[in-house]
Amino acid sequence: MRHNRWLHGFCLAAVVLFSFVPLYVFGNGFYIYEQGAKAVGMGGAFTAQADDPSAIFYNPAGISQLEGTQVMFGVSPIMPSAAFESDGSTPLGAAGQTWHAEDHTWTIPHFYITHKINQKISIGLGSYSNFGLGTEWPDDFEGRFTTGAGKAFIKTVTISPIVSYEPITGLSIGIGPAYRYLDINLRNKKLLGMSPSGPVVGTLRLKGDDWDWGYAVGVRYQITSALSAGATYLSEVKHDLHSGKASLNNDTNGARVTGFPQGAAAKLTLPATAIFGLAYKVSGFTFETDAQWTEWSSYRKLRVELDSGNSMESRKNWHNTWTFRLGGQYSLNKYVDLRAGIIWDESAVPRETLDPLVPSGNRWLYCTGLGIHLGSLTFDLAYNYLDDQDRRWKNESGNIAGTPYQVTGKFKDAHAHIFSLSTRYQF
């Protein structure tokens, strides 16, 4: 009877999962850690606790703690904002002139289901979007000729089945494949030439998608009744977008430029991450600190090969980063948990390749959350405020091809409001 309930739950999970897929969109940034509201409320410091179904993402070994069958789903709306102030280094902008990135609310859903087969083995299935990019600047933005500067949308969907094994009491190991979908959509202006009436400008669009494989592995050890440790590794995924499309239209009359549209191909490696955590519980309090390493050095360039034999390339040369998280929870009573956290997030983007796609610096995030327990049903809510460092843009990515001009200025006032809501039910 128990296994029949699991089969029914698994089928239900599959239906819900694939109904979510079209909604997996983009966050303002490349890595999205908002995959469960309990964790979000504690600044993502959750690798050592990993005690709800979002452990499938945060630490797959953690699902061994979960009794019966548990289903969790939710959403994390992200509302980013940023601006660019020009130095007036080109005829396209005056000193002090400011453009604001388009306001959007990017919605990041998550879905998990877990089942404890016996005291040794647990299984789970999750779907989440942990990489994404959503940046859109106005049509008259001074840097509009930089690749992707008009619009840069990257979405991912990861489907991850997990098995967790507990060889000895307190020690669990989780592992499973991660099948990831990547969809990329870039748009920017292109200088086509000069005419007696002035510059001839076109709109270049690049699109492509791909499915490819990675894996996730985690370990968790309950050192004492109060102290636990955890570690997780999510592998890099190498995407080969070989069936893309490039189109180029003349803005004046909307006509396609000769030779377009045409096929396009690109390779993009989404980086590996390793997370380490230590949690301590005492007198109704839980404290955790995590350190996350991200291998952004795999993102060296964005190169697009066209069927015509031509290519477009933007150097990136990002560097590996560390993110440090500190979070806590206080169980007020059997119904309510109060949470808070803080995050310091190092920027991967060097000064030499900073551009309008990801114009971010080092970040601080300030986090709070709430858990409400109603028997088998749990609601988790969280809010984070992201405060991003101002950055100077003065490098070759600001060059306007075919002219002697280079766009320079400052990306400023970058911040985001991040919300998260999760609902969990235990059968």
88-114 tens-digit pLDDT: 999 999 999 999 999 888 889 999 999
pTM of the model: 0.91
Q: Could you check whether the bond before residue 404 is cis, i.e. omega within 30 degrees of 0?
A: no
Q: Which residue has the tokens 């005419």?
A: 195
pLDDT tens digits along 24-55: 333 334 899 999 999 999 999 999 999 999 99
Tell me how far apart the alpha carbons of residues 118 and 95 are, in angstroms, rounded to a whole number. Answer: 67
Exposed (0-12), middle (13-18) or buried (19+): which is 180, by Cβ within 10 Å?
buried
Question: Under DSSP, is residue 277 helix (H, G, I), strand (E, B) or coil?
Answer: strand
pLDDT of residue 5: 52
> CA distances (Å), 41 to each of 25, 78, 86, 384, 385, in order?
21, 14, 37, 7, 11
With b for 16 or more beta-carbon neighbours within 10 A and e for fewer, the 216-253 pattern comes to bbbbbbbeeeeebebbbbbbebebebeebebbbbbeee
Q: How many Cβ atoms sit within 10 Å of the Cβ of residue 185?
A: 18
Strand 69-86 vs strand 363-374: parallel, antiparallel, or unpaired?
unpaired
CA 75 to each of CA 139, 364, 426: distance values in angstroms, whole numbers, following the listed order: 31, 22, 19
Per CATH, the number for 2-426 is 2.40.160.60
- 322 near 362, Cβ under 8 Å? no
Spatial neighbors of 8 by CB under 8 A, at least 6 apart, are none
Distance separating alpha carbons of residues 426 and 71, to the nearest angstrom: 7
Element (H, E) at 400: none
Distance CA 349, CA 359 (A): 8
Q: Give residue 257's pLDDT.
A: 93
Which value, in Å, is the radius of gyration of the alpha carbons in the chain?
Answer: 23
CB neighbour class for 382 (10 Å; exposed up to 12, middle 13-18, buried from 19): buried
Where the chain has pLDDT below 50, the residues are 1-4, 6-29
Q: Locate all alpha helices (DSSP H) within 245-331, ordered by sequence.
A: none
Copy the structure tokens of residue 306: 């066209």
Task: Give counts: helices (H), strands (E), the chain.
Answer: 3, 21
User: Phi and psi at residue 12, in whole multiples of 5°?
Assistant: -60, -40
CB 422, CB 111: distance < 8 Å: no
pLDDT score, position 27: 37
User: What residue has token string 């009491």?
Assistant: 169
Is residue 58 a contact partner of residue 51, using CB atoms and an 8 Å limit? no
- In the chain, what is the straight-line distance between the N-terminal and C-terminal CA atoms, in Å? 13
Amino acid at 214: G
> Domain segments of the chain: what residues?
2-426
Read off the DSSP letter of residue 308: T
C-beta of residue 232 within 8 angstroms of C-beta of residue 216: yes
Please choose, from the candidates 212, 232, 113, 262, the residue with its C-alpha nearest in 3D space to the C-alpha of residue 172.
Answer: 232
The pLDDT value recorded for residue 6 is 46
Joined tokens for residue 145 = 């000729």
Reading the block at residue 170, the tokens are 């307190």
pLDDT, residue 242, reads 86
Give the number of residues written for the chain. 427
